[in-house]
Amino acid sequence: MNTEIYKATVRQAVYYQLVYNFFPPYPAALVDPCIDAIEATNEGDPERLINLPDGITCQGADAIPASQLIDYFNLFELLETNE
């Protein structure tokens, strides 16, 4: 699959997950941090700190581990597997 198509597909999937699968929906501003979390986890670094957008915090922190973003937003299906 073309890399640009893959990135666009992941972006769209994350957007739909945040906006349509939660009530109330999460802000679209979290799409990029979620993609960063997916990439960090796929690179074997699930504890990499991911910066949150201005004005968004998680329990007072403006950066959280990639694994927490994956868990909070149920992004497991977007991770690469070794199967």
Domain that holds residue 32: 3-78
Any domain includes 73: yes
Any domain includes 83: no
CA–CA gap between residue 34 and residue 28 (Å, rounded): 10
Count of domains in the chain?
Answer: 1
Q: How many helices (H) and strands (E) would you count in the chain?
A: 3, 2
Q: Report pLDDT for 1.
A: 54
Any domain includes 15: yes
Any domain includes 17: yes
> DSSP for 30-64?
GHHHHHHHHHHHHTT-TT-EEEPPTT--BTTBSEE
- Convert the pLDDT of each residue in 14-33 to its tens digit: 999 999 999 999 999 999 99
pTM above 0.85, yes or no: yes
Any domain includes 61: yes
